[in-house]
Every structure is written in C-alpha cells, then in structure tokens.
Amino acid sequence: MSKHSGKTLEKKSLQPLVRIEDLHIHFPLPGGFLSRERPKVHAVNGVTLDIMRGEAFCVVGESGCGKTTLGRVLAGLLKPTIGTVTYDGTRIDNLDDHGRRPFRQRIQMIFQNPYASLNPRLTIQQTLEEPLRFHRPDLNAAEITAQVEKVMKSVGNDPEWGSRYPHEFSGGQRQRISIARALVVDPEFIIADEPISALDVSIQAQVLNVMMEARRKHKLTYLFISHDLSVVEHFGDRVAVMYLGSVCELAETAKLFANPQHPYTRLLLSSIPKMDGSSFVHVPVPGEVPSPVNLPSGCPFHERCPLANDRCKIEKPILKHQKSGTTVACHAVEEGRSN
Amino acid sequence: MTLLQIRNLEVDFPTRYGPIKVLRGIDLDIEAGERVGIVGESGAGKSMAAFAIMNLISEPGHISAGSVEFEGRDLAKISDEEMRLLRGDRISMIFQDPMMTLNPVLTIGDQMVETLQAHRNISYNEARDLALDKLREVRIPSPEARFDGYPHELSGGLRQRVVIAIALLSDPALIIADEPTTALDVTIQAEILALLLELCREHGAALILITHDLAVVSQVTERIVVMYAGNIIESGSTRKVTDTPSHPYTMGLIAALPEQNAPGTPLNQIRGAMPMMNAVPPGCAFSPRCDYADKKCSTEKPELREVTGRLVACHHASKLKRSRKAGK
Amino acid sequence: MSTISRILQSDLFYRFSRDKVAMGSALVVMLFVVVAALSPVLAPQNPYDLTQLDILDSELPPRWQDGGDERFLLGTDHQGRDMLSTIMYGTGISLMIGVFAVLLQAFIGISIGLVSGYIGGRVDAFFMRLADIQLSISTLMLAIVALAVFQAAFGSELYQDLSIIMLIMVIGIAEWPQYARTVRASVLAERSKEYVDAARVIGLPKRHIMFRHVLPNTLSPVLVISTVQIAEAIITEASLSFLGLGMPVTQPSLGSLIRSGFEFIFSGTWWITILPSLVLIVLIFSLNLLGDWLRDALNPRLYKKT
C-alpha cells in the first residue's frame, strides 16, 4: 500500500512511526431488538495512513467525520473493528493491558475540554505524579518531584501550583497542566484532540505556542485533531481531510492550502470566515453531512458534490497520488474533471 | 434614526463577597438597519449586554444603573408585561443552542403559530401561511413537512434556520444573535451567516451579532464593538477595527490569530488571562497584560475617546497609532 | 488544619450557615447524637441494671402531673424504669442501628454500583436485575421473614443477645439497591469524562481508576441519600420492634419502647408510648430536612432554575 514498500534502501528515518492500515470502527447502536442485525454507526471506514517520526500530522473535518474516533484508537481507548495499527514496527491494536504498557508511556494524549480532563478531587501535584509513579517505578520521591517541577516549568506553569486543585485555575492554565501531564512521562508521540477549541482566542495562542515549543524540546511527533483549518495551517506538516469516516485528501499543509484538490476540501476552505475584507462569497452546497448509520453508496461526498456523476454514486474512490504531490480520493480529480 | 441607545449601563450580581459588576458602564448606539458585532472572550460581558437589552438577566443579577432606550422607551424601566410584548415582536433573539428557543415537545409549526398569535390577533390559517413563508425564506427544504415535524428531527444547521425563521416572524426592528454559529460546523456556519446577512439586509432589521470570532464578525457586520472585562474598549467601523486595531487588546487579539503568523512560527500571544469578574484590576482592566501600560494605566480608568475615526479606551491610543505607523 | 479552614471557607458551609432550617435540623440531630452517646453519664438511671429498678415505681406519670415523682422527670414505664433514661438509651440504640445499617448498605451498594457502572455489560445487567428484584420485595416484609425464621431456628434467647447485629444485617442488606443505583448512575456520568480517559491513556489498572479517580467523584450523591437512608433505617427498625421482631424489652430501642407502652395507652398511661414517639418523630423529621437541604445544596442545577 505504502509508497515506500518495495524500495530496498529504506532508511530508518523514513519508516513511519505510526502505520494505520484499512482501519474500520463501527459502534453498535442500541435498539434493533427484534431484527437480527443491530444498526451501526460507521465512524471510521477504511482509513490507511502513515505518520512519520517527528512530524505534526493533522486531521481535519467536521463533527462526525471520525477524526476523534481515529485518535482514540491510536491512544488505546478503543479497539478497531477491522484493520491494524502498527507503532514503531510493532502491532499494538491487539495487545492486552500488559503488552500495551510500554506503549502507554510512549503515546500520550491531550484532551479537548480542560474542565473535564483533570480529576477535580486530586491536587495538581497528585495528577502529575501519578503517571510517573506508574511508569517509572525506578524513580524515588525526590526524582519524581524534580521531574514534575521541570515539566511544569517547561510549559510555563508555576511549580507552586502543585498543592492546589483544578477548580482554582482558568481554562488555559488547566490545558497547560494537561499538557504537562502528557509530557511528564517523556513520550514521543502525542495525540491532541481539539486541544485549543474550548479556549478563548488570546489563550489559544498561548497553548499552541506551548505545544510547538514542546515539540521542539522533546522531539515529539503529533497527531493533531482539529476542525479549525487556520490552526492546522499554522501547526501541521501534513494534513488529512476526513469526511464521513474516510480520508478524502492527504497532503503537505502548504500544498493543501495553496491548491486544494478534493471538492470537499475546497468547500471547507471556502467556508472559513476571513478577516481580509474580502466580500462574503459563499457557495452554498446542498444538504448536510449524511448520517454515519446509513452510509451513502459510492463516494461518501457524492450527495453534496457539484462534480458527482454516476460513477461516484456506485464506486468508492480510493486515495491516489496526484502529480501535484497530494493524495486525493476523488473520481473527478482522477479523470481531470475537477477544474 | 437611532434605534437603540444604551447609556452607562451597569449590571450587578450580588454574591457573598459583595456585588460583582459584570457590566461597568456601557454606552452603545445602534441605528435602524445597522449590523453591529460585539466581540470579546468569555467573561467580557458581551452576552450579559444582550441579556440586559432583552431584560433577561437571570436572578439575582440586575441592572443597577443606566438606561436602554429602544424606540423611545427605556427597557430597563418598563414592566415585565410590556417587555414580554416587545420580545419576539420588535426585538428577537437567536441563541447559540437552538434548543433554547425550540420546545422539544411541540411541532415547529405550533411554536411558530403560537409566537405569532401571542403578538397579533390573527387566525390559525393566516399564521400558518406566514410561518410557511418564513420557513421558505430561510430555505428549509420541504417546509410543509417540516411545519408538522418536531425539532429533534432536524440537524443542527436546520434547527438554527428554524430559529431564524421564528426570529423573523414579526419583522423585528432588532435581532440579537448570541454566538449563533458557534455550535455548528464550519460549512454550516458559512451558510447560516450568509443567510442572516441576506435576511437582515432584505428586512432592514438591525443586527447585534455577539461572538468571540473576529473573522465571523468582520464578514457580517458594519461596525465592531470590542469588550473586555465588562467595558467597551474599542468601537468603530469593521474595516478600521480589523485593519488597524487601536486598542492594545484588539491588536493583540488579531496578532494572535494563526493566519496572521507565518506557519510554524510562535504566535504573538497576549500574556495572562482575562481577570475574574470579582478581581478586575483598578485603572485600565487590561493594564496587567498590556505591553504599553505605565503608572497611569494602573490607577486611572481610560474613557472611550475618538482616535482616527473610532472610539478607543486607552491612555496611549494616539501614541500607539504613531508607533505602529513607524513600525510598518 | 488546612482541611478545616477549607471546609469553613467552602460555599457549602457558607450556604449552610445562611440556612436557618438546615442549621436548626443539624443542631437537633447533633443534640440527639451527643445525648445518646453520653447517656451512661447523663441519664439519672441505668435502665439495663435490674438492681436499680423498683417495681413499686412502675407507671408513675411525668413529674408535672398529679402523682408524679420527684425522681422521674418523664415518669416511669410498667417495669419501673425511668422514662427519660430509657429514651436516652433507646435513642442511642436506634441511632446505632440506623448508622451501622446504612454503613453496611453503603458498603454493599457502593461496591456493586461501582463495579456495575464501570465494568458494564453482563455484570451490570446481572446486578441491576438483582436490584430490581430486591426493590420489588418490601424491606419490612423481607426483614420480618428473616427475623422470624432466625427466631424460630435459634430460639428467642440467642436472638435477644444478637438482636442489634441481626437488625443491622437485615436492614443493611435489604436496602443496598438505593446506593447501588445512585452510585452506578454517577459512575456512568463520570466514566465518560476526559480525566478517566486520561487515566486510561496513562495505562493505570482498572481497579486503580475505579477507586482513585471515579469513586471520589461519585460521593456527593451518596452523602445526600445517606441522611435520608439513616432516617429510613431508624423507622424500619422501629416498625420491626413495634411488631415484636426488633429489640427486646430488656434493651429497648425507641420502637420497642413505643410498643411496650402501647398496651397501656388506653388505661391512661400515655407517656410510655407518646414520649418516645415524639422523640422518634423529631429525629426523623430533622434528618429528612437535613437530607433535603443537602440535596439542594449539592445539586445546584436543581436549585438555581427558578
């Protein structure tokens, strides 16, 4: 599948840190009591992608596109229905708690809601020490305290905060504490699920800066999940655009924003409100995102796509490499009908 | 013609530690048919301003000073009954969550007819026709079917369209929209904003759009009012405020946006956070976070003054303007 | 030290200190607890000590009535026991049974609720159906059957010795579903919060997440139902004693006191029944008021919307 396979001279640095192959995640819905088949939410439908060591890989899409589910699978919070996740050469999606344990230290997560992601009954110090005590039993109390202090300082927090409780802090401060909790075990891969979307504008910049700084200092690889395209443009090296559980376009950030190929990517980009004083041009697109319970046949976007034809209604397009350097899943782009 | 004239409006919330001022003296004029955006972060008091206009501040909060004059009447002083007749008739409100407006156990049609009949003496059939017109106007697909449907059968975007249709029912002079698109996806947001803009223009209704998103405001409104810690700190035409912000806070907000910074570089951030409402610093509330603050800023509260065609509440606004020119 | 100052500064305490009803009912409950606990010191007589009793003093009316005796403020019962002392000791027994039965309920209920809510699936279904079955049988009925069987099997002598433990066991076991359901509901709410996900991402073992992260955050509703459950348990105990299945007359609780005087109520010796009844009513009423206040205070969403 990968463009690297078959090459004999494969450098270690070119090996993906994370490889997701043909990932499907379905959630059974309650109901369907009398019928044999229970209805299912098709959250992710056949996603294949590689995340390279050291890159900031972004996933964008609207609510219900499966981006959060994808992140939760990588974090080990969900098991895939079909497909595999390989981390640094080891398949991790089928590991039990014990086998997964070394990867828990290497893969950490930052959550969206700073008001729910810290246990209200634990002090900041307790919250930060817990992962260390678990993953680094070799450290003594003084070393743990020192490590917590070091990480708190590195994300711009006052180590004096330790004895206080989460409710005493603002959203931005809490999010920096969450980042510190993720960093304290010295991970190499961080999944950040909408880490700044619950924050105020002036605080978003602060938190984003902390995350970029952490990337540089700790040589982190990020999976950054967001609905905010301007943040993705700033933060990401590569972007995958998801729609209804499938990746429809995957490209380097600069290329994607300069020259979007997939009709959905174009729609997304044209929908961003801009402050440059340009007049309000919006191309209305009929309908809204279909329900992930009953997926449309063929291309998931065909019902809203201005370029859709009969082929799009029947055959689901697969991601193909384009001459422009991007990867797109669209029959129209393939056939050259898109311009 | 001035439609709404707010003067020195203050809102207090009594607490165990004494009253907390969430609005600290707001002056705001809105002309008939004008579209104004109120921008600020959470805790700035922007929603409180809207609720104060609608006289909907929840207990124990109350308007402690000032006046809200709308079409010649002071809304801060009229009776609840008069206010009730005004709401949904001359002034409509659109909330972030459509389910604040929509009752889940009534059909959409019943709610629209009910709203109309509360303000006008018309028959069911007349009301139904009017309601269907409005549903068509907001481009709800198959309005007849939706009329007899329930709100939960609709997607978020369609629900917000229904709410807009309800807000338009009685051709209000003023529509207050409080974060109307924050809960929606970006493609749906664009559609709702385009619709709101078009309908306000068509009906000549004035719009107060309350949001945290400067870009959203800049695409829909003619004028922007920036709030910080219960005060208006900058107010002027949309173009001027977004192109050449003059208050250090507005400047900081715009400079912090990712699209204003080269990809991958650290963003220009404003240090610190908005003060809690019970601990607003003396003098200029923004001074502890401001790069230009001096002694005067921490003792004397700046008034809104005109600087290059817009109002700015900053002691150093005129000086900043010069330095910015020199910088560019 | 800092814990105390934190409690004193908390919003809950502030609201408590502003609410006269809450303060009053808490004061009454405290008074009952202190008096009951100190009854061996405070009571003029030890009603369990047969050598202090004199059958000639039996059925004396309260002091303020004709024929009242200097020594007995609230009169005496048919065995010549001082009513005041007996009520003080009896309140102690009732409170003890109430508190320990609720501790047992809470222990069983919280454990089951926690496991049920956190693990879910078949385990959850099993325990919740069990709770449904338990709830469909009245506590009183279950207690009557259990206690009667015990009495028949082991004789009433052994039963008298073990009656406190038996009552605690029976009331404790019969009422666990209340706790289990409450805890399960808040576990389900807490489990979906991101801090639990964060603990799972760290890889912490299930048991650790359950006890350290989820459990402490489910305890405020437990506190609310506890006051009401204590009141319930005391009433259940009183009813059982009234039916003759509770505390023996030699070691009377409020319920058995009410029962022992009931035979004489129509012959004019009202005080043996009425006085303990009043005490019971005031105690239950205060506990319920306190429980109501706690529910309002800890559930601000219910409270704020006017």
Lowest mean pLDDT among B290-299, C8-17, C208-217: C8-17
Exposed (0-12), middle (13-18) or buried (19+): which is A168, by Cβ within 10 Å?
exposed
Q: Helix, strand, or coil here: C221?
A: helix
pLDDT for residue B1 is more than 90 = no
Q: Is residue A5 part of a domain?
A: no
Q: Which 280-309 residues of chain A touch chain B by CB within 8 A?
A: 280, 282, 284-285, 288-289
Q: Which residues of A touch B253 (CB under 8 A)?
A: 201-202
Query: How many Cβ atoms from other residues are within 10 Å of residue A38's Cβ?
Result: 12
Q: How many CB pairs under 8 A join A and B?
A: 121
Q: Is residue A6 part of a domain?
A: no
Exposed (0-12), middle (13-18) or buried (19+): which is C2, by Cβ within 10 Å?
exposed
Q: Is residue A7 part of a domain?
A: no
- Alpha carbons A1 and A6: distance in angstroms, whole number: 10
B136-144 long-range CB contacts below 8 Å, 24 or more apart? B137/B165, B137/B168, B137/B199, B138/B162, B138/B164, B138/B165, B138/B168, B138/B195, B138/B199, B139/B195, B140/B165
The verdict on a CB contact (< 8 Å) between C14 and B16 is yes
Considering CB atoms only, which of A206, A233, A272 is closest to B269? A206
> Closest Cα partner for C93 from C249, C260, C281?
C249
The verdict on a CB contact (< 8 Å) between A235 and B254 is no
State how far residue B229 is from chain A, nearest Cα, in angstroms: 14
Q: Is residue C13 part of a domain?
A: no
First and final C-alpha spacing in chain C: 38
Q: Which 3-42 residues of chain B touch chain C by CB within 8 A?
A: 16
Considering CB atoms only, which of A206, A233, A271 is closest to B187? A271
Encoded amino acid at B55, one letter: N
Encoded amino acid at B260, one letter: Q
Omega within 30 of 0 (cis) for the link into B60: yes
**With contact defined as beta carbons under 8 Å apart, do C178 and C107 qualify?**
no
Shared-domain flag, residues A109 and A180:
yes
**With contact defined as beta carbons under 8 Å apart, do A149 and A111 qualify?**
no
**With contact defined as beta carbons under 8 Å apart, do A127 and A177 qualify?**
yes
Note the pLDDT tens digit of each residue in B140-172: 888 999 999 999 988 888 899 999 999 999 899
Q: Is residue C6 part of a domain?
A: no
Q: Which residues of A touch C202 (CB under 8 A)?
A: 104, 108, 130-131, 134-135, 185
Residue C166's pLDDT is what?
87
Cα C86 to Cα A254, A312, B284, C62, C81, distances in angstroms = 87, 88, 70, 14, 7
Q: Which residues of C touch A77 (CB under 8 A)?
A: 197, 200-201
| Distance from chain centroid for Cα A185 | 20
State how far residue A169 is from chain C, nearest Cα, in angstroms: 16
Residue of C194, C222, C223 to mutate when probing chain A, most A C-beta within 10 A? C194
Q: Helix, strand, or coil here: B112?
A: helix
- Alpha carbons B162 and A122: distance in angstroms, whole number: 44
Tokens of C52: 């202090």
Cα B200 to Cα A36, B51, C29, distances in angstroms = 52, 21, 63
The verdict on a CB contact (< 8 Å) between A130 and C205 is no
- Alpha carbons A113 and A108: distance in angstroms, whole number: 16
Residues of chain A with pLDDT under 70: 1-14, 31-37, 277-287, 339
C10 to chain B: closest CA residue: B16
Shared-domain flag, residues A246 and A269:
no
- Alpha carbons A235 and B263: distance in angstroms, whole number: 7
Shared-domain flag, residues A249 and A309:
no
| Count of structural domains within chain C | 1
C199 to chain A: closest CA residue: A131
Q: Which residues of B touch A231 (CB under 8 A)?
A: 258
- The helix or strand, by DSSP H or E, that contains position C92, with its residue range, turns out to be helix C83-119
- The helix or strand, by DSSP H or E, that contains position A141, with its residue range, turns out to be helix A141-154
Shared-domain flag, residues A254 and A305:
no
Q: Is residue A8 part of a domain?
A: no
C304 to chain B: closest CA residue: B59
Task: Please report all neighbours of B, defined by 3+ CB atom pairs within 8 A.
Answer: A, C
> Closest Cα partner for C218 from C243, C247, C182?
C182
Considering CB atoms only, which of A205, A274, A277 is closest to B268? A205
Domain span at residue C184?
93-299
User: Alpha-carbon Rg of chain C, whole angstroms?
Assistant: 23
Note the pLDDT tens digit of each residue in B15-63: 877 888 999 999 999 999 999 999 998 888 898 999 999 888 887 888 9
Q: Whole-prediction pTM value? A: 0.85
ipTM: 0.86
Residue A13's pLDDT is what?
53
Dihedral angle computed from the Cα positions of residues B15, B17, B18 and B21, in that order, rounded to the nearest 10 degrees: -70
- The helix or strand, by DSSP H or E, that contains position C242, with its residue range, turns out to be helix C219-242
Residue A283's pLDDT is what?
60
Domain span at residue A268?
259-273+281-289+296-339
Q: Strand pairing partners for B40?
A: none
Interface residues from chain C to B (CB-CB < 8 Å): 11, 14, 306
CATH number of C146's domain: 1.10.3720.10
Q: Which residues of C touch B16 (CB under 8 A)?
A: 11, 14
Degrees, nearest 5: CA angle B237-B243-B249: 85
- The helix or strand, by DSSP H or E, that contains position B68, with its residue range, turns out to be strand B62-70
A97 to chain C: closest CA residue: C203
Degrees, nearest 5: CA angle B38-B22-B274: 70
Residue of B96, B269, B271 to mutate when probing chain A, most A C-beta within 10 A? B269
Degrees, nearest 5: CA angle A244-A46-A317: 75
Residue C62's pLDDT is what?
78
Query: How many Cβ atoms from other residues are within 10 Å of residue C120's Cβ?
Result: 14
Q: Which residues of B touch A213 (CB under 8 A)?
A: 266
- Alpha carbons A159 and A155: distance in angstroms, whole number: 10
Q: Helix, strand, or coil here: A308?
A: coil
Kindly report the backbone phi and psi dihedral angles of residue B66, in degrees, each rounded to the nearest multiple of 5, phi listed first. Answer: 95, 180
* Beta strands across the sheet bearing B2-15: B18-31, B2-15, B62-70, B73-74
Shared-domain flag, residues A336 and A269:
yes
Note the pLDDT tens digit of each residue in A202-252: 899 999 999 999 999 999 999 999 999 999 999 999 999 999 999 999 999
Residue A14's pLDDT is what?
67
State how far residue C31 is from chain B, nearest Cα, in angstroms: 29
- Which residues are CB-neighbours of B157 under 8 A, at least 6 positions away? A288, B184, B185, B188, B191, B192
The crossing angle, in degrees rounded to 10, of helices A171-183 and A124-135 is 20
Considering CB atoms only, which of C11, C14, C306 is closest to B59? C306
Q: Is residue C59 part of a domain?
A: no
- Alpha carbons A292 and A245: distance in angstroms, whole number: 8
Residue of B13, B16, B62 to mutate when probing chain C, most C C-beta within 10 A? B16
Shared-domain flag, residues A152 and A165:
yes
Q: Is residue A254 part of a domain?
A: yes
State how far residue B59 is from chain C, nearest Cα, in angstroms: 8
Q: Is residue A165 part of a domain?
A: yes
- Please report the DSSP string for B263-300 in residue order: TTSPP----S-PPPGGGPPSSSTTGGG-TT--HHHHHS
Residue matched to tokens 């004019």 = C268
C17 to chain B: closest CA residue: B16
The verdict on a CB contact (< 8 Å) between A117 and C198 is yes
Q: Helix, strand, or coil here: A93?
A: coil
Residue B130's pLDDT is what?
93
Q: Is residue C272 part of a domain?
A: yes
Task: Please report all neighbours of A, defined by 3+ CB atom pairs within 8 A.
Answer: B, C
- Architecture, CATH, for domain B1-85+208-328: 3-Layer(aba) Sandwich (3.40)
Query: Going along A158-257, which residue ranges are E strands?
Result: 189-193, 221-226, 238-243, 246-252
Shared-domain flag, residues A196 and A106:
yes
Cα B298 to Cα A317, B281, B290, C24, distances in angstroms = 62, 8, 11, 47
State how far residue C143 is from chain A, nearest Cα, in angstroms: 38
The verdict on a CB contact (< 8 Å) between B242 and A212 is no
Q: Which residues of A touch B193 (CB under 8 A)?
A: 273, 280, 282
Span B273-297, mean pLDDT? 90
Interface residues from chain B to A (CB-CB < 8 Å): 41-42, 155, 157-158, 185-191, 193-194, 197, 212-216, 218-220, 239, 242-243, 252-254, 256-259, 261, 263-264, 266-271, 273-274
Cα A166 to Cα A69, A172, B208, C139, C203, distances in angstroms = 27, 11, 35, 42, 22
pLDDT for residue B327 is more than 60 = no
Domain boundaries, chain B: 1-85+208-328
Q: Helix, strand, or coil here: C89?
A: helix
A269 touches chain B (CB under 8 A): no
Residue of C124, C190, C201, C217 to mutate when probing chain A, most A C-beta within 10 A? C201
Q: Is residue C229 part of a domain?
A: yes
Q: Which residues of A touch C217 (CB under 8 A)?
A: 119-121
Q: How many CB pairs under 8 A join A and C?
A: 61
- Alpha carbons B229 and B48: distance in angstroms, whole number: 11
B59 touches chain C (CB under 8 A): yes
CATH number of A150's domain: 3.40.50.300
| Count of structural domains within chain A | 2
Q: Which residues of B touch C306 (CB under 8 A)?
A: 59
The verdict on a CB contact (< 8 Å) between C14 and B59 is no
The verdict on a CB contact (< 8 Å) between A119 and C195 is yes
Encoded amino acid at B230, one letter: G
**With contact defined as beta carbons under 8 Å apart, do A46 and A24 qualify?**
yes
> Closest Cα partner for B291 from B312, B316, B267, B308?
B316
Q: Helix, strand, or coil here: B23?
A: strand
